[in-house]
Amino acid sequence: MNQAEAPRPAAPLWTKSFLFICLTNLFMFTSFYFLLPTLPVFVTSGLGGDESSVGYIIGILSLTAVMVRPLSGYLLDVVGRKKVLFLALIAFCLATAAYYIVAGLTALFLLRALHGMAWGFTTTGASTVAADVVPAERRGEGLGYYGLSNTLAMAAGPSLGLFVLDKGGFPALFGASLILAVLGLLSLGGVSYEDKTGGQAGGNGGDAKKKKAGLSLAALFEPAVFSLSAVMAFVAIVYGGIVSFITLLAKEIGVPNAGVYFLVYALTLLVIRPWAGRAFDRQGPKRIMLIGFVSMAAAFALLFLAKGIVLFVLSAVVMGVGFGIVQPTLMAMAINRVPPFRRGAANGTLMSAFDLGIGLGSIALGYVSKLAGFSGMYLACAAIIVIPALLFFRLGEEETAAL
């Protein structure tokens, strides 16, 4: 075999910049997950709220993140990835520090709104940087590994947050969350790469000219990923039932530590995400997405049936399979549909849909749980997952192809 016929070596994936953006994301998400299972306790036990209050407190963060994600995507594409992410991480740290001074539900609601804005910028920025630094031919695999930083945070954050809360109370919890946020900010210093904005890389003069267009709806949102965003929104609606109420369900059915759900779920994601990324790169999305949707529906059905820890934990495993396939596959498909200078807008559009779903789902499912109980709410979630599945498979060959 001559040199021309020799296969090209695979482009390196684990570069310094990729490693450090994964660390940035890991610390940021761990800080976030410290508060995820503990804020419902803070609302109900510390501030005297009820289930609907929990839904609003959890949901408002996602809704304000929705409001800023399109703007964050635009600024990432126009101003620069790392500059916008750095400023967003500073705001994220300040919002986390402010939990120390919260003394009522109204103040917590307003703080969560501000925290959501910072969250919208940081998560959109970090995932866009990750998409920039992974090789195009290994994007499904690379974003799958990047998603593992979220997974590790989910494995450690809730259990550690509940442990810190038990040992040191809410001041210790908020302090630990702040330290993690600061570590995320410091880790960004290790990220150094040629930016895709400003025509510096990955585009011709025409692309750069398009990129520098003024602020408008067309610049804020990426139409090429609208169909995928609709699917993501419905997935997020039911996922809102997990992030908002799994701790309260665990208490109701006698599971002593709800953190076990997030731990088992995250450990499952550690296995599933890399496999799903490679399967997407090699075979496309349809087969694995079918597995993903069926698994998510089954996980909610198991929560409906759960009366103790066995089905509770089994649901976490099956949910890990489902969400570990569906979410990164939709993200990789979105990135593949747009040129480099529109990755920020594509990420902003897709993640806006996710946050909108989380926010609306948390609020709506809070009312469902008051009427039908937590078990009935999760049965409703199992039925709702049919909607994004039908949307996805009705997109057609052209839509669902990995571009």
**CA–CA distance, 129 with 116 (Å, rounded to integer):** 20
| 385 part of a folded domain | yes
Q: Residue holding tokens 């890389």?
A: 201
- How far is the C-alpha of 255 from the C-alpha of 264, rounded, in Å? 14
305 located within any domain: yes
Percentage of the chain with pLDDT > 90? 31
Q: What are phi and psi of 15, to 5 degrees?
A: -80, 170
Residue 370: half-sphere exposure toward Cβ, Cα within 13 Å: 11
Q: Is 318 exposed, middle or buried (0-12, 13-18, 19+ CB in 10 A)?
A: buried
Residue 110 lies in a domain: yes
The answer to the question of residue 5 being in a domain is no
User: pLDDT confidence of 181, banded at 50, 70, 90?
Assistant: very high
- Which pTM value belongs to this model? 0.69
- Give the CATH number, domain containing residue 154: 1.20.1250.20
- Residue 6 placed within a domain: no
How many domains, in total, are found in the chain? 1
Per-residue pLDDT averaged across 261-272, rounded? Answer: 85
pLDDT band at 370 (very low <50, low <70, confident <90, very high): confident
Residues 250, 98: Cα–Cα separation, whole Å: 29
Q: How far apart are CA 339 and CA 304, in angstroms?
A: 43
* Structural domain contains residue 200: yes
Q: What is the pLDDT of residues 212-234, one digit of tens each?
A: 455 556 667 778 888 898 999 99
Asked if 71 and 87 touch (Cβ cutoff 8 Å), the reply is no
Report whether 337 contacts 62 (CB < 8 A).
Answer: no
- Does a structural domain hold residue 315? yes
Q: Report how far residue 310's alpha carbon sits from residue 153's, in angstroms, rounded to the nearest whole number.
A: 23
Q: How confident is the model at residue 400 (pLDDT cuts 50, 70, 90)?
A: very low
Tell me: the pLDDT tens digits for 319-354? Answer: 999 998 998 888 888 888 888 777 777 877 887 888
Domain holding 299, by residue range, is: 15-400
With respect to residue 8, please indicate whether it lies within any of the assigned structural domains. Answer: no
Task: From 365, 145, 154, 361, select the one nearest 261 (Cα to Cα).
Answer: 154
